[in-house]
Structure 1
Amino acid sequence: MSTRLAKYLGHAGVCSRRQASRLIDSGDVTVNGRPANHIDHVTEQDEIIVLGKKVCGPATKVLYAYHKPVGIDCKLKPDDPSSLLHHLSTSQRVYPIGRLDKDSRGLLLLTNDGELCQRLIHPDHHVEKEYWVKVDRPLDAEFCQKMALGVPVDGQITLPCQVSLLDATRFKIVLKQGLNRQIRKMAKHCGYKVIDLYRVRIANFTLPNTLPENQYQQINIASLKLT
Structure 2
Amino acid sequence: MLPGMKVIFCGKEVHPETEEIMIAFHKPVGIVCTAEKREKQNIIDFINYPKRIYPVGRLDKDSEGLILLTNQGDLVNKMMRAGNYHEKEYVVTVDQKITPEFLRQMSGGLYLKELDVHTRPCTVTKVNDRTFRIILTQGYNRQIRRMCETCGYRVTRLVRTRVMNVLLGDLAPGTYRELTAEEMRKLKKLTAQSYSAPKGQHKRSEGKR
Larger RCO: Structure 1 or Structure 2 (Cα < 8 Å, ≥ 6 residues apart)? Answer: 2
* Superposed pair shares fold, TM > 0.5: yes
Letter aligned with residue 196 of structure 1: R
Give the secondary-structure state (helix, strand or coil) at the position aligned to 1:65. strand
Q: Say whether 1:197 aligns with 2:161.
A: no
> What is the match of residue 155 of structure 1?
116
> What is the match of residue 171 of structure 1?
132
Q: Say whether 1:226 aligns with 2:185.
A: no
Q: Say whether 1:214 aligns with 2:174.
A: yes
Shift of 1:223: 3.7
Q: Deviations over 1:138-158 (max 9, x none)?
A: 011111111111111211110
Unmatched runs of 5 consecutive residues or more in structure 2: 2-14, 192-209
Q: Say whether 1:132 aligns with 2:91.
A: yes
Letter aligned with residue 30 of structure 2: G
> What is the match of residue 37 of structure 2?
78
Shift of 1:213: 0.6
| Structure 1 runs of 4+ with >3 Å offset | 56-59
Unmatched runs of 5 consecutive residues or more in structure 1: 2-55
Give the secondary-structure state (helix, strand or coil) at the position aligned to 1:226. helix
Report the TM-score when normalising by structure 1. Answer: 0.72
Q: How many corresponding residue pairs?
A: 173
Partners in 2 of 1:57 and 1:86 — Cα distance? 25
> What is the match of residue 97 of structure 1?
56
Report the TM-score when normalising by structure 2. Answer: 0.78
Aligned-residue CA RMSD in angstroms? 1.7
Percent identical pairs in the alignment equals: 40
Give the secondary-structure state (helix, strand or coil) at the position aligned to 2:190. coil
Q: Say whether 1:142 aligns with 2:105.
A: no
Partners in 1 of 2:150 and 2:29 — Cα distance? 23
Aligned pair partner of 1:60 in 19, 26, 31 = 19
Partners in 2 of 1:111 and 1:161 — Cα distance? 27
> What is the match of residue 32 of structure 1?
none
Partners in 2 of 1:149 and 1:69 — Cα distance? 30
> What is the match of residue 116 of structure 1?
75
1:45-56 equivalent positions in 2, closer than 5 A: none
